Amino acid sequence: MTGHAKAGRPNQFLRNLNSKIASIPMILTAVVIFLGGTIWTVVYSFTNSKLLPRLSFVGLDQYYRLWAAPRWVMSIENLAVYGILSMIFSLVIGFMLAALMDQKIRFENTFRTIFLYPFALSFIVTGLVWQWLLNPEFGIQSVVRSLGWTTFAFDPLYTPSIVIYGVLIAALWQGTGLVMCLMLAGLRGIDEDIWKAARVDGIPMWKTYLFVIIPMMRPVFITTLVIIASGIVKVYDLVVAQTSGGPGIASEVPAKYVYDYMFQAQNLGQGFAASTMMLLTVAIVVIPWAYLEFGGGRKRG
């Protein structure tokens, strides 16, 4: 991942002191906080630190305990369901909205403003609004019931088996606007002539999208996917605001597990082990992407 050096450029050894001084904050952040902090956490995840970090190594004990904890397993299951669905739906909805917006429509700015404004809001705000809308006593369920469907049931936030979908709805509401913007930029980057050629050949529109445009937009899709994925792993605020992890442990997520064990249960070892697992997940997503993006000798974005 050190592919940032511009290849073929002579190394003009600029011994410039000012530049180095100016870069001290960046170097400190990179080395002490990002590199140092990460290594520190990984190292301490092999200790049995409780209230305070202690260097008494216990091997993989914390990890065995982690994977034996029902709450952690639930967190992972939730993250998997939430992650896969939100990737699929974000991309599909985002792309479809973008494709609609790309039809030289009127009021494009108005529509874009409407689709994107949730993204300006905090996850806390999003979570609370949807908590209110999904409230079974007052929200959508009660409104539909009062319209005559008295047995209508839609209370995801109070039903353990489907609570994660309630979180998903809110997350999609907030995030699809951004995906749409990225996709729209991608669509606008495609040459008009491609469309003309497809029309001349009599290829129907949906086929052109599916077999020509989408493959051409591969870089945009990959970048968007990485952005969505790295956001998914971090999901925390939304769950805290919307469900507080409940009912019971039904909507727990890894990021919340980490926070709770570090700062409330004061079981640091568990917190470190869990956060190391999060790191591993992100690495699995990001390393192949970084390799494709920066490693393969292609030009950088």
Partner 1 sequence: MTLKNANGDVASKDKTLSGPSGRKPRRVISGRNIMLYGTLFVAAIYYLLPLYVMIVTSLKGMPEIRLGNIFSPPLEITFEPWVKAWATACTGLNCDGLSRGFWNSVRITVPSTILSIAIASVNGYALANWRFKGADFFFSILIVGAFIPYQVMIYPIVIVLREIGIYGTLSGLILVHSIFGMPILTLLFRNYFASLPAELFKAARIDGAGFWQIFLRIMLPMSLPIFVVAMILQITGIWNDFLFGVVFTRPEYYPMTVQLNNIVNSVQGVKEYNVNMAATILTGLVPLIVYFVSGRLFVRGIAAGAVKG
Letter string b/e over residues 72-81, b meaning 16 or more CB atoms within 10 A of that residue's CB: bebbbebbee
Q: What is the size of the binding site for partner 1 (CB under 8 A)?
A: 113
**Measured between alpha carbons, how far is 239 from 246 in angstroms, rounded to an integer?**
9
Query: Taking CB under 8 A as the rule, which mask of x and - marks residues 172-211 in contact with partner 1?
Result: -x---xx--xx--xx-xxxx-xx-xx--------------
State the Cα–Cα distance between residues 46 and 61, nearest whole angstrom: 7
98 binds partner 1 (CB under 8 A): no
Distance between the two ends of the chain, CA-based, in angstroms?
A: 15
Q: Does 227 bind partner 1 (CB under 8 A)?
A: yes
Q: Which residues, including other chains, have CB under 8 Å from residue 231's CB and lie 6 or more apart?
A: 175
Site string for partner 1, 156-175 (x = CB under 8 A): -----------------x--
* Segment near partner 1 (CB under 8 A); pick from 55-63, 77-85, 122-130, 149-157: 122-130
Query: Binding of partner 1 at residue 121 (CB under 8 A)?
Result: yes
Q: Is 150 in the site for partner 1 (CB under 8 A)?
A: no
Give the interface segment with partner 1, choosing from 65-73, 82-90, 105-113, 160-168 (CB under 8 A). 105-113
Chain-centroid distance of CA 187 in Å reads 22
d(CA 140, CA 100): 28
* Member of 10, 56, 103, 201 binding partner 1 (CB under 8 A): 103
146 near partner 1 (CB under 8 A): yes
Site track for partner 1 across 55-94, x = CB under 8 A: ----------------------------------------
Structure tokens at 4: 């940032």
Quick check: 163 and 238 in contact, CB under 8 A?
no
266-285 residues near partner 1, rule: CB under 8 A? 268, 271-272, 274-276, 278-279, 282
Alpha-carbon distance of 122 to 6, in angstroms, equals 38
In the complex, minimum distance from the CB of residue 207 to partner 1, in angstroms, rounded to a whole number: 16
